[in-house]
Structure 1
Amino acid sequence: MLRPDVSLDDQQGVYDFYLDHQQNPLLARLAYAALSARYRPRVSFAPGAEESIRALLSDGTSLIIAANHLTDSDQYILAATAWQTPLRSAIGRTRVLAKDELFREPKLRKRIDMMGGIPVFRSKNHGLRAVSDAGRRMMEISAERVRRGDSLAIFPEGTCNTEDPARVQHVNSGIGHIASRAGKLGATPALLHLGISYGPATATVKSASVHVGHPVTEIPAKPMEIARTVQQHLQETVDEARRRY
């Protein structure tokens, strides 16, 4: 299938493409390894989390990974973290929700596609009414990718936190709708929360502190309940990442 321009005017074609798009796993692993060497995050785990993540992935369980959002480099920190943890085994089978403007410049789009990106048309850029259909379609294909066995990484706050990096912003219901839809399709994903801290200077993204929470396997049924669960656990991992910085 031809690679379409990522445009809201062609949202149907865009999401038809990303429903089946698959990056080269070898190139993805090389890129994740390079990002790990460049950014060198210091990763810590909740008690038993490392072993539980490894067991879940070994059993074929998809993970819906939620991380707080502080800078435009956060996706690279997540990739570097994946390389250093049991998440390495999911490289090449992980989708990453990313704002649509990252797909406009060809060279950058190539990198985002290689990392498993799925574009998100945000209301702050296009208006709520304009993106409503695209948002529903994005959640549908994200849930379907989870059903197929992919993991999914999301920054559920929806935008960078420029106010108070110590406090997780409001978690939007999108992550809840995706998890709920995946469940209705027959998937049994687990939620995984990653807290990122850059210490007192968020402009310095190297040597970030990243804390990985224990996977949540008992997921509520309703989207808003899922969003509240994510809010709670994400705040706990952010608190710990800041404490360990």
Structure 2
Amino acid sequence: MSPLSSDELRTIREELSAGTTPTVWFTSSAVGVQEGRSGKVIALGEPAEGDFIQVRPAGSKDVLSFSTAEVTQVKPPRKKPTPEPAAKPAAKTPASTPSPATETKPAEKPAAKPAPAPAAKPSTQATAKPADTAATRRKPRQVKQPVGGAVVTLTADQDGQWSVEVVNAKRKLVKPTQVPANAVAQAAKLLHDDVAAAVEPLIEAAREQHRARVEQLRAELEAAEAALEELDE
């Protein structure tokens, strides 16, 4: 059976992210489990760790660590049962031919039976147990839980436009994205009174800026209408 390829590992990561537990089968290189036995992938670590594939074998509650050479996604074929050989017929014993009548001889006395030998006492010495090896015993490895955590940043520019950004320790989860100011105000009220008090002056400044812009546009519109009326006279 072929070991896991990089494409199959990528597919397994996508299935784990989707909340499913992919099925794999153990190869002849797997240590501590029978070849052809199935298992469920619980998590994937970093390939640099070596045995980074966390698998729960079928019928077991333990989660063990394996490398890509020890598991495969190719289902092994079922082993056909070996047919038992047919029983040979018993050989026939030829019938004995009766012998002609002969002179009757006195019956011989049966030979004396030898005395039975005393039965051997069973040995009380305990059978030594084979020492545990890596092939017969494997300690379950604790599944590493992914470390969570992220930073959510709200930013207001000089024009009163708000944007949100989400990052964690490794990469940006959400690039700066524009959000409505009223949504920011509602979220601030739900979070905490101090947050709402800190955000409200920024929201009010944006309102004043938009009011001034509206008044400016009205004045420009009135001037344009007056110029149009002069041209129509």
Structure number having the greater helix percentage:
1
Report the TM-score, using the length of structure 2 for normalisation.
0.18
Report the TM-score, using the length of structure 1 for normalisation.
0.17
Which structure: larger Rg?
2
**Which protein, 1 or 2, shows the higher relative CO under an 8 Å CA cutoff with sep ≥ 6?**
1
